[in-house]
A and B are shown apart, each in its own frame.
Chain A
Amino acid sequence: MVVVPVLLWSGDASEPVDENAVGAERAEAVARTCAACHGTKGGFETDIPSLAGKPEAVLEAQLLAFKRDEMPGATVMPRLTRGYEDDELRAVARYFASLEAN
Chain B
Amino acid sequence: MGLLGAGTLLAAGGLRVYAGRPSHAHVAVVGGGFGGATAAKYLKILKPDLDVTLIEPNRRYYTCPFTNLYLGGLRDFESLGHDYRELQEDYGVRVVPDFAEDVDVDGRRLKLAEGSEIAWDRLILSPGIDFRWGALEGYDEAAAEKAPHAWKAGPQTHLLRRQLEEMEDGGTFVLVAPENPFRCPPGPYERVSLIAHYLKRNKPRSKVLLLDSKDNFSKQGLFMEGWEEHYGEMVEWVGLSNDGRVIRVDPDRLEVETEFGTIHRASVLNVVPPQKAGLIAHRAGVTDESGWVPVDPNTFQSRKAPGVYVIGDATEAAPMPKSGFVANNHGKVTAAAVVADLEERAVPKPTWANTCYSVIAPEWGITVANVYEVHDGELREVPGSGGVSPSGAPADFRRNEARYAEAWYAAISQDVWGTRPPG
Contact = CB atoms under 8 A, between A and B. Distances in A.
Interface string A25-39: 110011011011111
B201 interface: no
A80 B373 CA distance: 13
Interface residues of A, number: 41
Contacts of A25: 348
B316 interface: no
A75 B401 contact: yes
Interface stretch (B167-175, B242-250, B329-337): B329-337
Interface string B372-406: 11100100001011110100000011001101101
Nearest to A18: B349
Contacts of A29: 332-333, 336, 348-351
Interface in A23-78: 25-26, 29-30, 32-33, 35-40, 44, 46-48, 73, 75-76
A76 B333 contact: no
B346 interface: yes
Nearest to A13: B296
B296 A12 contact: yes
Given A9-B344, A83-B382, A37 B377 contact: no
Given A80-B371, A82-B384, A83-B353, A36 B346 contact: no
A62 B42 CA distance: 27
Contact of A79 (B303, B333, B350, B387): B387
Contacts of A17: 346-349
B385 A83 contact: yes
Given A17-B346, A82-B386, A33 B407 contact: no
Nearest to B49: A1
B351 A75 contact: no
Contact of B408 (A15, A16, A48, A82): A48
Contact of A4 (B328, B329, B333, B345): B345
A62 to B, nearest CB: 16
Interface residues of B, number: 57
B62 interface: no
Contacts of A21: none
Given A9-B344, A13-B298, A76 B332 contact: no
Contacts of A33: 329, 332, 351-353
A3 B343 contact: yes
A36 B411 contact: yes
Nearest to B354: A36
B412 interface: yes
Interface string B29-46: 000000000000110010
A35 B403 contact: no
A92 to B, nearest CB: 11
Interface string A71-102: 00101100110111000000000000000000
Nearest to B355: A76
Contact of B355 (A12, A37, A40, A73): A37
A35 B306 contact: no
Interface of B: 41-42, 45, 296, 298-299, 301, 303, 306, 325, 328-329, 332-333, 336-337, 341, 343-353, 355, 367, 369-374, 377, 382, 384-387, 389, 396-397, 400-401, 403-404, 406-408, 410-412, 414-415
Given A40-B414, A79-B385, A84-B371, 16 more contacts: A7-B347, A13-B296, A15-B298, A16-B347, A16-B349, A26-B349, A33-B329, A37-B407, A44-B415, A47-B403, A73-B397, A75-B367, A79-B370, A80-B353, A83-B373, A83-B385
16 contacts: A5-B345, A14-B298, A14-B337, A16-B346, A18-B349, A32-B42, A33-B329, A33-B351, A36-B415, A39-B411, A47-B404, A73-B400, A76-B355, A76-B369, A79-B369, A83-B384
